[in-house]
Structure 1
Amino acid sequence: MFTIVLHLLCVTLCLQLQQGLSGPQCLEHPPNLNGTSGAGSVIKVGGLKAYVTGPPRSKVAIILASDVFGYEAPNLRKIADKVASTAGFHVVVPDFFYGEPYNPNNTQRNMTVWLKDHGTDKGFEDAKRVIASLRNKGVSRIGAAGFCWGGKVVSELAKGYYTKAAVLLHPSRVTLDDIKAVKTPISILVAQFDNGTPPALMKQFQEVLTTNKVDNFVKIFPGVSHGWAVRYAEDNATAVKSANEAHQDMLNWFTKYVQKR
């Protein structure tokens, strides 16, 4: 009986990895989506609902691609507000899941089923629509950052010239082949304890990017695990400090490659 259960768990984990997740770590510490607010507002951008914040007429914009819990996550909106208020970026957080973020309590829509409707390939296509909409409104320089699920979406954008710079924060299912195809300056911020993007793999990422002469910044944050940059607990001072450090690194990258060039 134990062998059967273990086999089923392994099959489930493999399916999750194939669909773009780093296993159970991607679902730890889900946010409370009730009563989400923020300094910005929700409008349509490229046909998608999006949380937007910062100067609406700015010529520089940042797109934040969420993890599986979606664009309403309170911490994600706080990060968007921080990026907007600190550097004057127009920040867009699209609802890539069309009102259906992953709900761990919905037993009828487990992760494997949910991802069939919300794969990163679809997110990539939607992200291109958002970028086109921003450009049509006069935005001349765009950066993109992705958390977990969103990290894969942003890695796809980085393979073309859709954005001026990319930041991946504890991304899921980003492979060495993905990194070999990256063309734009990219920062990869990961946790010491991460099943999907372990430190050894990050060393390979950095070596490839450097060999390909792609500007890069790869950083491993000690003592934290996958998801820490967006699903941190507000009452955990250590977690908040580490998350804030990652946010500042992200902001520095965008200031260098999106705002000042």
Structure 2
Amino acid sequence: MADSDVATKAPESDVQETPPPASESVFPGDTPAQAGPTMGEHCTTDRPTPAGEAPTGAITKLGGVDVYVAKPTDYPHSPSKLLLLLTGGTGIQSTNNQLQADKYAAEGYVVIMPDQFNNDPAPNSVNMAELPQDASWLDSIKLKTAEGVKAFMIDMWLARHTSENVLPLLHKVVEGAKEEFADAVANGGGIYGVGYCFGAKYILILAGEYPDPAVQGQEAPNDVEAGVVKKEPVLRAGAIAHGTMVTKDDLEAVKSPVFIAAVKDDPMFPEDEVLTPGRRALEANKVEHDIQVFPGVPHGFAVYGDYDDPKIKQNQEQAFEKMLGWIQAH
């Protein structure tokens, strides 16, 4: 296991935000330590798209769910593997997310990027940095009010997209992909997964044994002593970047090999409450894993998009190479 830091520095305007702590989590069962900041600016807003780039995939349906599908140019004439890509709050209509899927497709993967939000992506962000220096007091009040409204809208949005709502959609897509792209699943010996921000949590869930009767489509047992039948991991291997709302329980349940790209001092993926105990659980459970911590970059840096700071762009590319290398090696 590696825990190396990548040298860079925070950009002037893209330094990681620290959202105000939340009073409780939208995920039932989370501890108070896990009920802090949930979604930041980079979870809900795209960076500018690099000039001259356009997606090459298409939106279709799998299992009745909208999905963006990106394929290698020579598929199906050349063998490919199946990759499930789960996005942050910007969803499958985001040009940057589509371009990210295309990057994996160019490496030999049939990429399935599902609309895990059921046509309800996260509300657009409001940024205080956009306020002109000569703005009036009234303008400042209006924008601060808008920020408060945005935070409330995000909380309401998160309440609509809990695991009880998201996981059934993902399972429909997985079953549809197994049928539609059986050749890619067979060629890879299973399904691989990568996830960013919001989607990272669900890659970890799908890489683990998750004893949730609602997810399994089963009724909870009357006898608590009987426990809940655990399902085998959906994913052969997974890689995530700067997860949000990840809990130590998510990491404790992981069974498939995982790579984690984390941001140093990230309030949305806190080291003391989540990353460190999660690492210990992976070690104790003898799960193959690798964790790399990137200092001085904003939460969301690994999502494809343009940055003025070349060092962030370099780290973005490095995170992609690490995530790609991990699934290629497994």
Question: Matched residues in 2 for 1:68 and 1:33: separation?
Answer: 16
User: 1:28-39 alignment to 2 at 5 Å?
Assistant: 28=42, 30-31=45-46, 37-39=54-56
Structural RMSD (CA): 2.7
Which has the larger helix fraction? Answer: 1
> Partner amino acid for 1:18?
V
Task: Compute the TM-score of the two structures, normalised by the length of structure 1.
Answer: 0.83
Q: Determine whether 1:230 maps to 2:239.
A: no
Q: Which one of 99, 106, 110 corresponds to residue 153 of structure 2?
A: 110
Q: Which amino acid aligns with 1:152?
A: K
Structure 1 position 190 matched with structure 2 position 233:
no
Q: Which amino acid aligns with 1:208?
A: A
Structure number having the greater strand percentage: 1
- Alignment partner, residue 41 of structure 2: 27
Q: How does 1:204-223 map to 2 (within 5 A)?
A: 204-223=277-296
How many Å apart are 1:231 and its aligned residue?
6.3
In the comparison of the two structures, how many residue pairs are matched? 245
Q: How far does residue 199 in structure 1 lie from its aligned partner after superposition?
A: 3.6
- The 5 A counterparts of 1:1-261 are 13-15=22-24, 17-19=25-27, 23=37, 26-28=40-42, 30-31=45-46, 37-55=54-72, 57=76, 60-86=81-107, 88-104=108-124, 107=149, 110-137=153-180, 138=182, 139-140=185-186, 141-159=190-208, 160-200=232-272, 201-230=274-303, 232-257=305-330
Q: Could you tell me how far 1:26 is from its partner in structure 2? A: 2.1
Q: 1:22, CA displacement in angstroms?
A: 6.1
Give the secondary-structure state (helix, strand or coil) at the position aligned to 1:164. strand
How far apart in 2 are the matches of 1:188 and 1:213?
A: 16
Secondary structure of 2:202 counterpart:
helix
Say whether the 8 Å CA contact 2:40–2:299 is kept in structure 1: yes
Cα distance per residue 1:101-150 (max 9 Å; x no partner): 11236959701211222223322221111111111121232111111111
Rounded Cα–Cα distance in structure 1 between residues aligned with 2:305 and 2:39: 13
CA contact (8 A) 2:83 2:110 kept: yes
Task: Give the aligned residue type for 1:151.
Answer: A
Gaps of 5+ in 1: 1-8
CA contact under 8 A between 1:83 and 1:89: conserved in structure 2? yes
- 8 Å contact 1:143–1:166 — kept in the other structure? yes
Cα gap change, 1:79 to 1:21, in 2 (>3 Å): farther
Structure 1 residues 130 and 225: alpha-carbon distance in aligned structure 2, compared to 1, 3 A threshold:
same
SS state at 2:92 partner: coil
1:27 is matched by which residue type in structure 2?
Answer: E
Task: Tell me the CA shift for residue 54 of structure 1.
Answer: 1.4
**Does the aligned pair in 1 maintain the 2:47–2:305 contact within 8 Å?**
no
Q: 1:198-254 CA deviation, whole Å, 9 max, x = no partner?
A: 344423322221221111011101211321111653433121111111111110011
Secondary structure in 2 matching 1:76: helix
Please state whether the residue corresponding to 1:143 is helix, strand or coil.
Answer: strand
Q: Distance in 2 between matches of 1:69 and 1:120?
A: 18
Q: Give the percent of matched residue pairs that are identical in Structure 1 and Structure 2.
A: 25
